[in-house]
Each structure stands twice: as structure tokens, then as C-alpha cells.
């Protein structure tokens, strides 16, 4: 039965709150950056208000019960056992990855990513003067899979691999078999493996992701920021059973000043993992319903655009190849013509150019508005194209 305390229906005005999604460009219907247009779980709101009521906001230590909250969540939900000794606090997944690149690889080293993938993976590698090596995912019959021969070859020239599980933007949960094969290949070529699992809780109802726990050396990045829509608090952890690697990472994060804790983050994270599971389960239903809405809408109203099947994340990957328009042009056209902002597929790698990424973590009313604008924009684009 639905908990009436949770509101996933109301459209909350976010313009004017310094929201990256709503205020940076001023589009009417922003469906790009990965945050949600829902109110947080009531327990999180209460915890923040409780902490805010104490009017001193000085430096904060990371308390043991924050790590306990992570340990409990992964044990309860994923049967993944963690211990304090194997964890380090960080202000964000990308901050951690940047620090790990600096302390575990050298300038000029190759770092492997599987494209199309979260665009910031490219920047974090290049900004640290390392080189991107792409293991392009194979797209066939509307589905993605890993090219393991290519992975084997490219890992032999790489120092590090950054895995995304579930994978942004294609929304795929990598199978245990895939993870095992990746793990074995990384071991074979002595490659440091980072597994970014930030989207792990946002799966279709009844579906679970597989934590990467097959190798002691794997480094996992975990955070409640996507699952509970608290990215603005900037909080995450790094987990590895390899104590030598963990010491090096902790040192680097200290040098980078990315290991200190925001005064509100602690309250938010603990309330999320310890008290907001019911909210998350209902959120997953809402996102799944939204996904079905998009699927049906495209099939009936806009069959030229195909939804790539996925089982995780609230980011949908729309195959627009039949339109034969570069994704940047398409994305820009939808913005100028319709005030609708979807991410251009090329941002996630050259092999993403036939796609748009659509964030559907919003109330159904807003989603329907977005879909109507998508149809109007694509219809207008096709009319314009046909004039030439």
C-alpha cells in the first residue's frame, strides 16, 4: 500500500534555488543532469531540520554511525559485507576518482572506460593528463553488450579501468558473469579496477544490481546522492579490501582536501540509509511507471524514436538513429524550439551520437509535458528537414 506521507506527484518549483538543472540555462523542461525533481524522504528532511535547529555549524567529524549506515544498507539489501577498516569518506564520487587517478596512475597512463559512458569520466581522465582508452560497447538489436576481445586487448595497455555499474547512460546492470570476466581480465593485466556504483539502488522494482565483490583489490565508489536525491550535500565513500591501496587513496584525498564532511551531510546520509528504505521502494515504482509511460508514448506517438531497454537508473537512452540528425543538433533544436533539454548522446562518447538521454525522475505531469514537447520538436524538425 502506498505511504501517503510520500509525495511523488506535486511539481515543485525549483527555479530560483540555484539548481544546476533548473537555473543554469533556464530551460522550461530540463531533463538532463542526473538529479530528481522529487522532495526528499521525510526522514531526511526531518534530520536536516533537526540539525539546522542547532545554530552552530562548525567543522564536523565523520561519525562511526555514518559508516555503520553504509554497512547496514549493503548487508541488508545486497548481502555485501563491509567493514569500517575498508572504507574512506569522500565529498563525492568524482572527487574520489580524480584523487585515485592521481595517486594510483602516472601522467600519460591509459585509463579504460566503456563508452558510451558518463561524460565526466572523460574529463576526469584528461584533466589529470592521463589518456582515455575506449572499450566501445556493442549495440545490436536494441541491446548493449561488452566486447570482451577488445577489452582484453585494451586492458593490456591500461593502468586503470573505471567501470560504471549500473551503467550511465544505458541503464544496464552488469551481470555477475560480466563482472567476473572483467575482474579476471583486470587481474590478468594488473589493472586497477574502480567500480562506480552510484546508481545501484535505482533499479526496476524487484531487480537488484550485483555489487563488485569478487576481487579483494577492486575499489568501489558508493553514495546515497542519486538514490535519495541528496547530491547537493556532497557525500560518498570509497571501499576496498586492499589496505595498501586504501592508505594511498586516503593520503591523496587528504592532500586534495576532499575527505572532510559537510555538517548536514552526516544527518542526511544516516537518515537516508537507516530510515528511508520505504520511500526508496516507492520511488522505484514511480520511476518504473514513468518508464512505461515513455515506452508506450514512443510506441504510439513517436515510433521513430526507440527506447533502449534498461533495468536501472532514471536515465533513459533514446535511440534517435532513424532521424539521421547529429545528437547535438537535435538536442539544441529541442531546446530552442521547445524549451526541452535532453542530453546529447555524443556527450557520452562518439558512439552515443545517435541517441538522446532523458532524465525521467520527475512527477508524471512534468514527464508528460516533456514527452509532448519531444514529439512537437521532432515533428517540427522533420518538417524543416523535408523542406530541403
Q: Phi and psi for 378 in degrees, rounded to 5?
A: -70, -35
Taking the least distance from each CB to ligand PLP, the nearer of 88 and 231 is 231
Contacts of 201 by beta carbon, 8 Å cutoff, 6+ apart: 77, 209, 224, 226, 227, 280
Which residue from 144, 179, 148, 154 is spatially nearest to 310, judged by alpha carbons?
A: 144
Under the rule (CB under 6 A), what is the footprint of ligand PLP? 34, 92-94, 118, 164, 168, 196, 198, 223, 225, 231, 236
d(CA 201, CA 209): 8
144: nearest Cα among 302, 351, 291, 342: 351
Residue 234 Cβ vs ligand PLP, minimum distance, rounded to whole Å: 7
Measuring CA to CA, which residue among 164, 37, 38 is closest to residue 94? 164
Minimum distance from CB of 223 to ligand PLP (Å)? 5
3-state secondary structure of 171: coil
Provide the minimum distance between the beta carbon of 324 and ligand PLP in the complex, in angstroms, as a whole number: 28
Shortest spacing between CB 194 and ligand PLP, in angstroms? 10
Q: Which is nearer to ligand PLP, 62 or 164 (CB)?
A: 164
CA–CA separation, 163 and 317 (whole Å):
18
Q: Rounded to an integer, what distance in angstroms lies between the CA atom of residue 280 and that of residue 116?
A: 27
74 or 297, CB closer to ligand PLP? 74
Of 258 and 338, CB closest to ligand PLP: 258
Nearest distance from C-beta of residue 325 to ligand PLP, angstroms? 25
**270, 47 in Cβ contact below 8 A?**
yes
| Spatial CA neighbour of 193 closest among 211, 217, 223, 209 | 217
Q: Which is nearer to ligand PLP, 349 or 377 (CB)?
A: 349
H helices of the chain, in order, are 20-23, 42-52, 64-78, 93-104, 120-127, 148-155, 176-188, 243-255, 263-275, 277-301, 327-338, 364-386
Give me the least distance between CB of 74 and ligand PLP, in Å please: 17
Distance CA 94, CA 193 (A): 15
What's the closest the beta carbon of residue 34 comes to ligand PLP, in angstroms?
4
Q: Which is nearer to ligand PLP, 35 or 377 (CB)?
A: 35
Q: Is the dihedral of CA 278, 76, 165, 40 positive or negative?
A: positive
| Nearest distance from C-beta of residue 348 to ligand PLP, angstroms | 10
C-beta closer to ligand PLP: residue 98 or 105: 98
**Which residue, 315 or 371, has its beta carbon nearer to ligand PLP?**
315
Cβ atoms of 100 and 252 within 8 Å: the answer is yes
Give the nearest distance from C-beta 3 to ligand PLP in angstroms: 27
Cis ω on the peptide bond leading into residue 169 (within 30° of 0)?
yes
Copy the grid coordinates of residue 340: 526541452
Nearer to ligand PLP, 210 or 225 (CB): 225
Amino acid at each position: 500500500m502506498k505511504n501517503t506521507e510520500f509525495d511523488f506527484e506535486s511539481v515543485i518549483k525549483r527555479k530560483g534555488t540555484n539548481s544546476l538543472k533548473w537555473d543554469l540555462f533556464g530551460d522550461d523542461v530540463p531533463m538532463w543532469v542526473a538529479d530528481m525533481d522529487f522532495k526528499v524522504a521525510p526522514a531526511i528532511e526531518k534530520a536536516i531540520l533537526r540539525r539546522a535547529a542547532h545554530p552552530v555549524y562548525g567543522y564536523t567529524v565523520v561519525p562511526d554511525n555514518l559508516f555503520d549506515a553504509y554497512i547496514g544498507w549493503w548487508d541488508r539489501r545486497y548481502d555485501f559485507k563491509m567493514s569500517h577498516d575498508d572504507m574512506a569518506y569522500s565529498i563525492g564520487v568524482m572527487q574520489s576518482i580524480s584523487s585515485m587517478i592521481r595517486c594510483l596512475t602516472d601522467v600519460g597512463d591509459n585509463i579504460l572506460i566503456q563508452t558510451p559512458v558518463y561524460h565526466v569520466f572523460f574529463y576526469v581522465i584528461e584533466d589529470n593528463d592521463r589518456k582515455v582508452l575506449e572499450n566501445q560497447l556493442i549495440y545490436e538489436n536494441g541491446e548493449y553488450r561488452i566486447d570482451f576481445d577488445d577489452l582484453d586487448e585494451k586492458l593490456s595497455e591500461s593502468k586503470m579501468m573505471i567501470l560504471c555499474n549500473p551503467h550511465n547512460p544505458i541503464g544496464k546492470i552488469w551481470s555477475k558473469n560480466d563482472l567476473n570476466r572483467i575482474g579476471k581480465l583486470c587481474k590478468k593485466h594488473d589493472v586497477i579496477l574502480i567500480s562506480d556504483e552510484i546508481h545501484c539502488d535505482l533499479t526496476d522494482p524487484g531487480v537488484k544490481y550485483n555489487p563488485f565483490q569478487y576481487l579483494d583489490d577492486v575499489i568501489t565508489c558508493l553514495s546515497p546522492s542519486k538514490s535519495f536525491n541528496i547530491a547537493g550535500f556532497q557525500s560518498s565513500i570509497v571501499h576496498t579490501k586492499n589496505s595498501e591501496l586504501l592508505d594511498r587513496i586516503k593520503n591523496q584525498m587528504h592532500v586534495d582536501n576532499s575527505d572532510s564532511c559537510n555538517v548536514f551531510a552526516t544527518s542526511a546520509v544516516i537518515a537516508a540509509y537507516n530510515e528511508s528504505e520505504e520511500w526508496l521502494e516507492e520511488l522505484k515504482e514511480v520511476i518504473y511507471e514513468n518508464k512505461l509511460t515513455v515506452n508506450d508514448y514512443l510506441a504510439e506517438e513517436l515510433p521513430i524514436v526507440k527506447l533502449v531497454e534498461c533495468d536501472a537508473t532514471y536515465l533513459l537512452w533514446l535511440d534517435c538513429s532513424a532521424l539521421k540528425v547529429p545528437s547535438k543538433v537535435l538536442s539544441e533544436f529541442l531546446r530552442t524550439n521547445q524549451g526541452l533539454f535532453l542530453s546529447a548522446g555524443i556527450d557520452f562518447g562518439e558512439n552515443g551520437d545517435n541517441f538522446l538521454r532523458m532524465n525521467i525522475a520527475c512527477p508524471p505531469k512534468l514527464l508528460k509535458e516533456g514527452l509532448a514537447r519531444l514529439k512537437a520538436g521532432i515533428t517540427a524538425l522533420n518538417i524543416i528537414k523535408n523542406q530541403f
